[in-house]
A and B are shown apart, each in its own frame.
Chain A
Amino acid sequence: MSTPGAAGVTDLRTYNPLVKVLGPIPVMVYVVLTRDVLTPAVVALVVFAAIALLGRVRPRVLAAIALGAPVLCLVMTFSFGMLTDPALVDDTTLLAAVGPVELWSGALETGLATALRTVALMLIVLLGGLTTTGADLVRAMTQQLRVPYRIGYAALAALRFVPRFGHELEVIRGAHRVRGVAPGRGPAVAVRRQAGYVVPLLAGGIRHAERVSLAMDARGFGAYPQRTDRLRIPFRVRDVVLLVSFWAGGAACVAVAATLA
Chain B
Amino acid sequence: MLAGEREDVRPPDGLARKVRFAYPDLVTLPLLDVQDLRVRHHLPLDDGGHRLAAPAPDGVDLAVEPGEVVLLLGPSGCGKSTLALATNGLVPHVVAADLRGTVRAAGQDVAATRPPLLAADVAMVFQDPDAQVVTGSVLDEVCFAPENLCLPAGEVLARAEAALRQVGLWERRGDDPDDLSGGGRQRLALACALATGARLLVLDEPTANLDPDGVEQVYAVLRTVAAAGDRGVLLVEHDLDAAVDVADRVVVLDAAGRVATAGSVREVLAGRADLLAELGVWLPTATIAALRLRGAGVAIDPLPLTAAELTAALDAQPALPEPAVVRAAHVPPSGASEVMASTAAPVTAPVVSVTGLTFRRGASTVLDDVSLDVARGDLLALVGSNGAGKTTLAQLVAGVLRPRRRAVSGAVRVAGLDPWRADPADLTAAVGFVFQNPEHQFVTGRVDDELAHGLRLRGVPDGEIAARVEDVLERFGLADLRDRHPFWLSGGQKRRLSVGTAIVCRPKVLVLDEPTYGQDRERAVELLDLLTALHEDGTTVVVVSHDMQLVAEHATRVVALAGGRVLADGRPDAVLGDEAVLRAAGLRTPPLARATRALTSHPDWRSVTRLADLPVAAPHGAAVGA
Contact = CB atoms under 8 A, between A and B. Distances in A.
Interface in A171-223: 171-172, 174-181, 183, 196, 199-200, 203-204, 208, 211-223
B428 A180 contact: yes
Interface in B436-458: 437, 439-443, 453-454, 457
A79 interface: no
Nearest to B435: A175
Contacts of A218: 88, 90, 115, 119, 122-124
Contacts of A181: 443
A117 B275 CA distance: 75
Size class of the A contact interface (CB-based, 8 Å): 35 or more
Interface stretch (A6-14, A20-28, A67-75, A227-235): A227-235
Interface stretch (B130-138, B220-228, B558-566): B130-138
A156 B402 contact: no
A135 interface: yes
A199 B486 CA distance: 11
B157 A223 contact: no
Q: Which of B11, B88, B132, B501: most chain A Cβ within 10 A?
A: B132
Nearest to B137: A135
Contact of B196 (A174, A219, A229): A219
A219 B144 contact: yes
Nearest to A213: B94
A160 B134 contact: yes
Majority SS at the chain A contact face: helix
A203 B94 CA distance: 19
B424 to A, nearest CB: 3
A80 interface: no
Interface string A143-169: 000000000010011001001100010
Nearest to A207: B131
Interface residues of B, number: 68
B130 A224 contact: no
Nearest to A208: B131
Nearest to B485: A199
Of listed B147, B152, B442, residue having the most chain A CB within 10 A: B147
Contacts of A219: 116, 119, 123, 134, 144-145, 148, 192, 196
Interface string B131-162: 11111100010011111111111001100000
A220 B119 contact: yes
Contacts of A221: 116, 134, 144, 148
A225 interface: yes
22 contacts: A135-B140, A156-B134, A171-B440, A178-B400, A180-B424, A180-B425, A203-B439, A211-B128, A212-B134, A214-B85, A214-B95, A214-B126, A215-B134, A219-B116, A219-B145, A220-B116, A220-B145, A221-B144, A223-B116, A223-B149, A227-B148, A229-B153
Interface of A: 133-135, 153, 156-157, 160, 163-164, 168, 171-172, 174-181, 183, 196, 199-200, 203-204, 208, 211-230
